[in-house]
Each structure stands twice: as C-alpha cells, then as structure tokens.
Amino acid sequence: MIIYLDGNYVQESEAKVSVFDHGLLYGDGVFEGIRLYDGNIFKCKEHIDRLYCSAKMLMLEIPNTKEEIEEIIVNTCRKNNLTSGYIRLVVTRGKGDLGIDPRKCKKATVFCIAATINLYPEEMYEKGMPIITASQRRNKATIVDPQVKSLNYLNNVFAKIEAIHANVPEALMLTHDGIAAECTGDNIFIVKDNIIYTPPVYLGILDGITRNTVIDFAKELGYEIYEKEFTQFNIYNADECFLTGTAAEVIPVCSLDRRIIADGKCGPITKSLLNKFKEYVKVDGTKI
C-alpha cells in the first residue's frame, strides 16, 4: 500500500511518524474519513472544508492549500489503483518535545491512507441494526467540541466498548441532559408520523456530511424534516430510526436497548433515502 506522508508517497512499511508526534502523544490533530465510490471521492470538498474548520479550532496550520490536499487524496487513490474504498486523511500538530506546548511543534504532519473498507453486512440494511444507549455521554461542546473531528476519540471509544460488551455494532450517546446526540461513528434520525427528526448540531455532535446530504435528500423528496431534540422515549416509539455516516451510509436501526422499533424492519422513508443516497454517491464529488 502506498501512503502519502509529508510530501512523499511511500510504501506502508516506510510510513512512520515520530514518537514525539503530538498527534500520538496528545491526540493533538484532526482527521477525515472519506468514501471512494467507483472513482468518485464522495463530497471531497466538503470533507476538506470540515478538516480546515476542525484545524482552525486547534489553531493548527495545515501546510497545504485545500487544492493541494485534494490532489494528495486523488493521487493516493491513483497510486493504490483504488476506485472504491475508504480514505483516511490525518493532520497532526507534528513532532515536538514531551511537553504539551503546541509551539514546540514546528510543522504539522500530514498523511493520507487509501484502503479498502470493512462494511456492515448487507443484511443489516434490510433487517436493521440493534443498538444500545451507552452510559458514556457525548462530550459537551464546551469540552472538546464534537464538531471538531479531532484525534480525540476516547469519548467514542468508551461508548464503542459498551456496544461490544452488549454484543451490538453501535451505541447511542446522550448529552449530559439525557437528550439523544449521536452514535460513536454516525448521526441519528427518527421518523414519526411521516416527519423526520435529527438532533441539531448545537447539541454537541459532529456536523455529519452524510447527515447533511440526507437532510437535503429528504427535502427534495418532499418529506418534512426538523433538526429537533428527542429522547430515548421518542426513539423507542418511533416509526423508523436510522443512522448516517461515511462508513454506515444510511442504515436502519431495528432496536434500541432491546425495544423493537416499529416492526423492526427497514422503514419506507429510510429505504427511499438509502436508495437516493446510493444513486448519488457516484455523482457528487471529485473524480480520480
């Protein structure tokens, strides 16, 4: 596998970062996860924009223009002869000393991985995914804002460990006030009486690119959709529930905390949004 690392394309075995890199030592960095569909880097510009927004919060200067980053992504895919898969783009604070002071890191580390992706089983898109509510609450916006796609994913990892212990693929995290926020790697939507709801970003969630794409699709399909707070009660009693994310795409949820949602199958609105999403992913993006 060919990796882009700090201006060079190197073999995976040569792709090494310093043990003094603050991305490793302190999680001081940002990243993006991007999908490649049949030669189309889906929403590439939107992912790059979000990377820069995340970096701005960290006051982390990315040593490339957005255009250069796009070229790096394209070239990394080409050099790996990849037409479909998953791209991981990472920018860390860079090599420093053992102190936390970001000023000691003179230049950010930038690397890009283009690889195949492990997907959820196809049957899960029909039968739905069982999830649980994690005891781990989502970070408040005042405590490492979840809008920053940072290398600080322990909040998500703790919730993922709870999902593993419960033998389910995903876990929902609530806000400190007990309002539904998002899952460890996906945004959440519910449908009730043909109206779609999804938590507002200000609650403290990642401003998901798939989320925003699906919101646009819902409007185009003529559905009523609101960014509105809801609780576990609303999810348990929803007509449909689904998750959105780069890896998950649009995936139905069949149960939360062992409460079967409606008939426990993929609902018609979820299905229509998934079908539209599948058509669209090869269209909108950057062609390699």
Q: Which residues contribute to the site for ligand PXG (CB under 6 A)?
A: 33, 156, 182, 185-187, 206, 208-211, 244-247
SS (H, E, C) 71-131: HHHHHHHHHCCCCCEEEEEEEECCECCCCCCHHHCCCCEEEEEEECCCCCCCCHHHHCEEE
Q: Can you list the positions of beta strands (E) in the chain?
A: 2-5, 8-11, 29-37, 40-42, 85-92, 109-115, 129-133, 170-174, 180-183, 187-192, 195-198, 224-227, 240-245, 249-256, 259-260, 285-287
| Cβ at position 250, least distance to ligand PXG in Å | 10
Provide, rounded to whole angstroms, the least separation between the CB of residue 244 and ligand PXG. Answer: 6
Q: Give CA–CA dist 35/38, Å, rounded.
A: 10
Q: Which is nearer to ligand PXG, 26 or 153 (CB)?
A: 153
Of the two residues 5 and 206, which places its CB atom closer to ligand PXG in the complex? 206
- Asked whether 241 and 191 are in contact (CB, 8 A), the reply is yes
Spatial contact of 92 and 108, defined as CB atoms under 8 Å apart: yes
Q: What is the DSSP letter of 21?
A: B
**Min. distance of Cβ 264 from ligand PXG in angstroms?**
23
Q: Which is nearer to ligand PXG, 13 or 142 (CB)?
A: 142
Q: Strands 129-133 and 170-174, how do they pair?
A: parallel
Instruction: From the candidates 149, 160, 219, 282, give the one annotated as an active-site residue.
Output: 149
Q: Which is nearer to ligand PXG, 54 or 210 (CB)?
A: 210
Rounded to a whole number of angstroms, the minimum distance from the CB of residue 247 to ligand PXG is 4
149 carries an active-site annotation: yes
Q: How far is the CB of 37 from ligand PXG (least distance, A)?
A: 14
Residue 28 or 182 having the CB closest to ligand PXG = 182
Active site residue ranges: 149
